[in-house]
Chain A
Amino acid sequence: MIIKGGIVYDPANGIFGEEMDICIENGRIAEDAGGEVIDARGLLVMPGGVDAHSHIAGPKLNTGRIMRPDDSRMGTEPRTRVCRPSTGYTVPNCYAIGYRYARLGYTTAFEAATPIIEARHTHEELEEIPIVDKGALTLFGSNWTVMECVRENDMDMLAAYVAWGLRAARGYGVKIVNPGGGEAWGFGSNVKSVHDPVPHFDVTPAQIIRALAEVNERLRLPHSIHLHFNNLGRPGNYTTAIETLELLKDIKPSRMRQVVHVAHMQFSAYGGTGWKDFESKASAIAEYFNQTNHATMDLGQIIFGPATTMTADAPLEYANARIGHQKWSNHDIELEESSGVVPWVYTRKMPVNAVQWAIGLELALLTKDPWKVVMTTDHPNGGPFVNYPEIISLLMSREKREEEMKTLHEVVRSRSTLPSIEREMDWSEIVIMTRAAPARILGLEDKGHLGIGADGDVSIYNIRPDEIDPSKDHAVVKAGMSRAKYTIKGGAVVVRDGEIVAAPQGRTYWVDAAVPESDMDRMLSSLKEKFERYYSIRMSNYMVQDAYVPNPVVVNAGMQPLKEVI
C-alpha cells in the first residue's frame, strides 16, 4: 500500500508536516510497496492514535453497563454488513469501543486497571473489541503479597511476584491505584497520606510505591509504574501529588522513558481546603513537570455531560456516590484490590466542574514538553473517549477556549490560569500527545511513529494543514478529527470516509518478565499457602489461560539483559 502525497506528521522521526509518501508492506511501514494507492494529497497524515489510559474492558466496565441501561440506549447503531451493533455513550458495548476508536483514527488502546484475579474477564472483553491493538495494566497497589514483601523489604520476592502476577494476568504493566487504600477499604477506611500506615500490614503507601517502582525498573518492564495517587479527587491534593513524585526522583529508569506515569493528573491537581474554595493548582503541577524529567502524565480531561466514574479507588467512589446522591456499585476483590462505579454528570454551571475542565487544559498548555503529557479523558471517568477531537480543538485554539469559558461558571476565570494562557498547540504537538508520547511512555516500540518497520497503523484526516488555521478554524479541526478519512490498521484499511469497512481482530500485548528461578520458587511456595488459606479459588484455576489471548504479542523483559532475537 502507498499513501501518496499526504502532509505527514511523525515527530518521533523528526517529521513535522512534510509532504511525502508512506509505504506499507506486510502490515509494516516499509521503504517501498506495491498494491493499493491511497490518494492523500494535501491531507493530514499521522501514525494511528494510541490511548495509554482508558477503561475499556473488565468487570468495572460491565458493572457500568449493567447499572446503566439508560446509557446503553445512547449511541445505538444497528448491525451492518461489517459491524455488529453498537450501544452506549459512556459505557459502550465492546464492539462500539473498537469501531469508535477506529473512526477517530486510533489503532491502539490500553485498559488502565485490572486485578489479577479478574483478568480473565478483562481478556474476554478485550477479545470482543474489534480492530484496535490492546493491553491491560495489572493492579498491584493493595495486594497482600506486595505489601508483605515491602514490609519484609524482600525485593527479590517482590520482583518474582510482580513477574508472576503479570504472567497470571497476561498483563502489560504495573498499575498502582491509591496504594494501601484498597486494603484499608476492606474494613471501610482509607489511607489519608503517603505516610499513613495501611491497617494490619504495617507499610505505608510511600513504601509500596517506591518498592514497586524499583522492582519495575529491576524487571526492565517496557512501561514504568502507572500511578493513581492517594487522595485523588480531593481539594488540596496537589501537595500529595508533588510529595509522591518527590519519592521517586532518585530512581533510575532501566529504559529510555520515565520512572513513573501519573494517571489522569487533572484529578490530582486540586487546591483549596474544601469544595467551597476549590481551585486549580495545575500551574504548580506543570511547574514541577517542567523542572523534572522522571515523570509523565495523562490529562484525564473532563467533558461536560454524562460520565461513568469507575476506578479501583473504591473509597473515592463511595465519597462520589455520597456527594452526588448517585447510585453506587462497589466491588472488593479478595487479597488484591477494591473498586467502585458511580454515574456522573459534569455541568458547565457547576463551579467545581468548570474549574476541573480548566485544569486538564492548563496541565497540557502549561507543561512545556508535549512528550510529558498524554491526552486522555480517563474514559469514561472524565467523559467518553469519543470527545478527543473536542479537546484537540481546545488545545489548538485560544479563541475556542474563550468561547467555551463564556458558557461556564465564572469561577473558571478566577480559580484557574486558563484565561491568561495564550499557547495554541500545533499539529506536531497534537501528534505527540495522542500518538508518539503514549507509545513511548508505554514502551511500544512499533507504535506511535511511521519509521521503517513500525506497525502499519496510519490515520488520514480530511483536514488540509497547509490551508486551515486551527486557531481560527477549530470547528473544521473538531469535525475532521472526529471522522478519519482513512484509518489503516496493520496495513488494512479499516475506516474509509468515517465508516468502518473492515473489522479485523487486533492483538493483545502482555509482558513476560524473567526472574531467577530460586526467587520464583521461594515466592511460589509462600503464595501456595496464601491460596490454601485465603483465596476462594484454587491457584491452578487462577492464571489466565492462553485461550483468552488468541492474538498475543509477548514482550519479553526481566532481569537479564535482553538478547538480540534474530
Chain B
Amino acid sequence: MRLQIEDVLCTFCGCLCDDIKVEVDEGRIEKVRGACRLGSSKIMGHNRIKSPMIRVNGELKEISYEEAYRRAAEILINARHPLLYGWASTTCEALKKGILLAEEIGGVVDTTATVCHGPSIIGIEEKGAVGSTLGQIKNRADLIVFWGCNPSEAHPRHTLRYSSNACGRFTPDGRKGRKVLVVDVRETRTARNADRFLRIQPGTDYEIISALRMIIGGKADSLPEDVAGVSKKELIEIAEMMKSAKFGAIFFGLGLTHSRGRYKNVDNALSLVSELNSHTKFVIMAMRGHYNVTGAGQVLAWSSGYPMAVDYARGAPYYNPGETSCCDLLSRRDVDAALIIASDPASNLPRGCVEALAEMPVIQIDPFENPTTLFADVVIPSAIAGIEVEGTAYRMDGLSLRLRKLVDVEYPGDVEILQAILDNVRRLRDDN
C-alpha cells in the first residue's frame, strides 16, 4: 500500500525543513517531494552498512550486535580518557544517552561544532547573540546579509522558505521588497543573486566589520580611504544600507568563523549587530550545517552547563575549548579511544588529528560507511533518525522539532545502541 506522509522533517542541513512529502510503499521510500536535492538524496538513502563489524587482523569482519556492544564497552572501559565525538546528525535523545555514558566512563563529549561554528559559540560567550527565529526574519526583514556563507548551494531552501525570497506579513513582496547583500571572498551563486556583493580579500573580515562599526558609531572620519582593499565610500554606503533597514538580518557561515581571526570575527560581527540596534532592528544567526548540530549544543548546555567540548574525567563537567575540544585532545594524544557517532571526522578533521584517531581503538556508530569506517575497530550500523526512528532535533534558529519515523527497519536506533553499550559497561564493571 502506498502511503503519503506529509510535513516530514528533512534531516540534512540546519534548515530542518518540515514540509516535505514522502511516499512510502511496502516499507520503502519511493518518492520525496518538496525537498532540495541534498535533502532528497538523504531521505531516499544510499548504501548502508549491513551488519556490525569488528576489525580482526586489519580486516573488518561481520559479527552480531551483542558482540559489537560488548567489544565497544571493553574499549571504553579500558581507555584512560575516551572521546565521544560527533552527534550532529542524530537526535537529542541519543546525545542524552551519550552524556550519561561519558559521565560513567569519565570521557569527553564533543560535537562537530568545535570544527565548524565553535568559534561562533565562543563569540557568543564574549558578546551574547542578538537573534530571532527564522519566521521573524521571513515576516519582517527588508535587508538580508549573507556573510561568508552560500545558502544557494549549502542550504538550498533557506532563501525561499526563511530569508531573502520568503513572503511574510510585513514583507508581502518577498524578494522584490528586500535588499540582499552578500559579503564573501568569491562570487558564489548566492552572490550572483544579490543586490549588492561586497567582495573582500580572504582574512579581512575583522577589518571590514571594524570599519563598519566605526562608521555606524559616527567615527568615519578616522578611517583611511581604503580598508583592506575596500574603499571607504563603499563601506559608508553599506553601513547606510544597514542603518536604514527597518529590520536587518545577518546570516554568517564558516567563511567568517574559519578565516583569520576566527571567534574574534564572530565577536566583532555580534558587536556590530548589537550596535546597529541603537539605530534600527537587527539580528544575526549562524548558518548551521548539520541538521541537529544546534540541538547537540542545547542538550550539552542543559546537561553540563557548557555547549561543547565537555570533559567528564573529573566526575564533574570541565570545559576549556582549546584544551578539551576534540582537535586539541587528538593532536596532544590526550585521548586513547574514540566513539564516533553520526559524523565523519576522517573527512573533516586536520590530518594530524585523523592520524591520531587511526592509532587508537575507534568505535563507529553510523548508518552509512564513510572514510572513518576505514580505520574503525568496531562498526555499529544504526537506524537513520528522522526516517527510521523518532526523536528531537533543533533547527539553526534554536526551534526544537520532533523528527518523524517513516519506515520500519531492523537496525537499532542510536539511543538503543548507546543504551546497550552503557549496559555492557555497567555489566563488565560489576564483573570486575
Taking the complex as formed, is A443 at the interface, i.e. its CB lies under 8 A from any CB of chain B? no
Q: Is A541 in contact with B18, judged by CB distance below 8 angstroms?
A: yes
Q: Is the CB of B304 within 8 A of A93?
A: yes
**Smallest Cβ-Cβ distance to A128: which chain B residue:** B302
- Size band of the interface chain A makes with B: 35 or more
Task: Say yes or no: is B127 at the interface (Cβ < 8 Å to chain A).
Answer: yes
- Does A62 sit within 8 A of B, measured CB to CB? yes
A327 and B403 alpha carbons, distance in the complex (Å): 34
Contact B319 A534 (CB under 8 A): no
Contact segment of A66-74, A291-299, A350-358, A453-461:
A66-74
A-B pairs under 8 A by CB, number:
184
A12 to B95, CA, bound (A): 44
Given A84-B103, A94-B302, A547-B390: A121 touches B9 (CB 8 Å cut-off): no
Closest approach, in angstroms, between the C-beta of A544 and any C-beta of chain B? 9
- CB-based contact A533/B298 at 8 Å: no
State whether A540 touches B6 (Cβ < 8 A): yes
Q: Knowing A85-B103, A85-B317, A547-B390, say if A187 contacts B281 (CB, 8 Å).
A: yes
**B305–A93 touching, CB < 8 Å:** yes
A330 to B283, CA, bound (A): 8
Q: Is the CB of A538 within 8 A of B304?
A: no
A341 and B140 alpha carbons, distance in the complex (Å): 22
CA–CA, A63 to B297, complex, Å? 10
Of A121, A329, A334, the contact of B128 (CB 8 Å cutoff): A329
> Which residues of B390-421 have CB atoms within 8 Å of chain A's CB atoms?
390, 392, 394, 398-402
B90-125: contact bitstring with A at CB < 8 Å (1 yes, 0 no)?
A: 001000100010010000000000000000010011
Q: Is the CB of B283 within 8 A of A332?
A: yes
Q: Say which residue of B136, B162, B301, B401 sits within 8 Å of A332 (CB atoms).
A: B136
- B44 nearest CB across to chain A (Å): 21
Q: Which of A171-201 contact B (CB under 8 A)?
A: 185-188, 200
B6 surroundings in chain A (CB, below 8 A)? 540
> Is chain B's interface secondary structure helix, strand, loop, or mixed overall?
mixed
Assess whether A545 is interfacial by the CB under 8 Å rule: yes
**One of A13-21, A75-83, A226-234, A380-388 at the interface:** A75-83
Q: How far is the CA of A366 from the CA of B224 in the complex (A)?
A: 62
Interchain CA distance A342-B9 in the complex, whole Å: 33
Question: Closest A-chain residue to B246, C-beta based?
Answer: A187
| Chain B residues near A333 (CB-CB < 8 A) | 132-133, 136
Residue from A91, A330, A533, A540 with most neighbouring chain B CB atoms (10 Å) = A330
With A69-B319, A331-B398 already in contact, the answer to whether A93 and B280 are too (CB < 8 A) is no
Q: Closest residue of chain B to A125, judged by CB?
A: B302
Q: Closest CB of chain A to B296's CB: distance in Å?
A: 12
CA distance A65 to B305 in the complex (A): 6
Q: Are A124 and B136 in contact, CB atoms less than 8 angstroms apart?
A: no
Q: Mark A347-372, 1 if CB is under 8 A from B, else 0.
A: 00000000000000000000000000
Contacts of A117 in B (CB 8 A): 133, 399
Does A118 count as interface, using CB distance less than 8 angstroms?
A: yes
Contacts of B314 in A (CB 8 A): 78
A327 to B127, CA, bound (A): 5
Contacts of A288 in B (CB 8 A): none
Q: Does residue A87 face the partner (Cβ distance < 8 Å to B)? A: yes
**In the complex the two chains form, what is the Cα distance from A186 to B246 in whole Å?**
10
Q: Please report the C-alpha to C-alpha distance between residue A533 and residue B297 in the assembled complex, in whole angstroms.
A: 30
Task: Tell which of A62, A67, A120, A338 touches B402, judged by Cβ atoms closer than 8 Å.
Answer: A120
- Nearest CB in chain A: distance from B120 CB, A: 11
Q: Given the complex, which residues of A lie within 8 Å of B78, measured CB to CB?
A: none
How many Å lie between the Cα of A539 and that of B228 in the bound state?
47
Does the CB pair A67–B400 fall under 8 Å?
no
Residue interface bits B177-221, CB-to-A below 8 A is 1, else 0: 000000000000000000000000000000000000000000000
Q: Are A536 and B161 in contact (CB under 8 A)?
A: yes
> Of B134, B315, B390, B402, which contacts A541 at CB under 8 A?
B402
Contacts of B305 in A (CB 8 A): 65, 69, 71-72, 87-88, 91-93
Q: How far is the CA of A328 from the CA of B399 in the complex (A)?
A: 20
B9 CB contacts on chain A under 8 angstroms? 541
CB pair A332–B132 under 8 Å, yes or no, is yes
Interface residues of B in 309-336 (CB under 8 A from A): 312, 314-317, 319
Give Cα A84 to B167, complex, Å: 46
Q: Which of B130-154 contact A (CB under 8 A)?
A: 130-136, 138-140
Chain B contacts for A534, CB-based, 8 A: 135, 138-139, 168-169
Interface, chain A (partner B; CB < 8 A): 59, 61-63, 65-69, 71-72, 76-79, 84-88, 91-95, 117-118, 120-121, 124-125, 128, 185-188, 200, 318, 321, 326-335, 338, 341-342, 533-538, 540-541, 545, 547
Q: Give the top 9 A-B pairs by smallest Cβ distance, nearest first.
A: A334-B135, A72-B305, A78-B315, A536-B135, A332-B132, A87-B305, A188-B281, A329-B128, A327-B128
The 9 listed contacts between A and B (C-beta, < 8 Å) are: A78-B314, A84-B103, A187-B246, A318-B277, A328-B274, A329-B128, A335-B135, A541-B402, A547-B390
Can you name 19 extra interface pairs (CB under 8 A) apart from A67-B129, A120-B400, A536-B133? A66-B307, A67-B124, A67-B125, A67-B128, A85-B312, A87-B304, A93-B304, A118-B399, A124-B92, A186-B281, A326-B128, A329-B124, A329-B129, A330-B277, A331-B398, A332-B131, A334-B138, A338-B132, A533-B169
Residues of chain B having any CB pair with chain A under 8 Å: 6-7, 9, 18-19, 92, 96, 100, 103, 121, 124-136, 138-140, 161-162, 167-170, 246-247, 274, 277, 280-281, 283, 297-298, 301-307, 312, 314-317, 319, 390, 392, 394, 398-402
